[in-house]
Amino acid sequence: MDREDLIDYPASTVKKELSRLARNLFLQGVPFAVNGFLKKRFYVRWYKMWEYARSLAYLDIKEGDRVLDFGGGATLPVFYLAGKGCEIISVDLNDKLVSHANEVSEKKGWKLKSSTVNLCEKDIPVQWGVFKYIITFCTIEHLPTGNRHTVLKKLSDRLISGGIMAITFDYGQEAPTENPLKGPLDVEELILASGLDIIGNRDFSDNEKRYRLKNNSKYYPYTFGSLFLKKR
């Protein structure tokens, strides 16, 4: 993660669009979720924006594209893509987030459907079909390693040929979350488990930048990583 990434086009443009959406939702009295917490808010912090804007800018998702979101129930990116006219299915185990997302979608006439199907225990429903894009923002590291790899393979199997998966995750030895990717070996295992090809860089690269970010009541030297994986 590099804060400077948000200055450059096209991430800077997507950042502005996401910020505008956050303000509009706030003025409409519509809450959205960050890190599983649903409330009315008019902005997201820069490091969450790094996850969202950089990934969405890289994917360049268009109206009518089919997108599968894993773990982002009622989040800003899900509402953003739905508002662009994408057909999106969002999977989250939080009943409250799923219900809220479906209610907002119905009111706005979006092609957004949210589900609580547990992909650690069940397969992706056949009727969902296949997708051009899959997004999962800081979710995969909350799964035990075995489940993480199994879920990732289930997701990648639903990509069309040429489809892309964008993943962000807590990264590094200092990351305080349940099961972070602690180093390059963990990332390499993730890529292999997906069965997809890394794109962008030849290999995952750590710029060694760390930021003092708050997690619960404490501050940690923190960073996120991201991957863009493509199906042949």
Q: How many CA within 13 A on the CB side of residue 215?
A: 12
According to CATH, what is the number of the domain 3-230? 3.40.50.150
List, in order, residues 6 or more apart from 201 with CB less than 8 Å away.
none
- 167 forms beta bridges with 136, 227
Task: Give the predicted TM-score (pTM) of the model.
Answer: 0.95
CA distances from 217 to 21, 65, 141, 176, 214 (A): 29, 40, 20, 12, 7
Strands 87-91 and 112-115: parallel
pLDDT tier at 182 (50, 70, 90 boundaries)? very high
Average pLDDT for the chain: 95
pLDDT tier at 188 (50, 70, 90 boundaries)? very high
State mean pLDDT over 60-65: 96
The reported pLDDT for the residue numbered 210 is 94
State mean pLDDT over 143-160: 93
The reported pLDDT for the residue numbered 216 is 75
Q: What is the pLDDT of residues 71-124, one digit of tens each?
A: 999 999 999 999 999 999 999 999 999 999 999 999 999 999 999 999 999 999
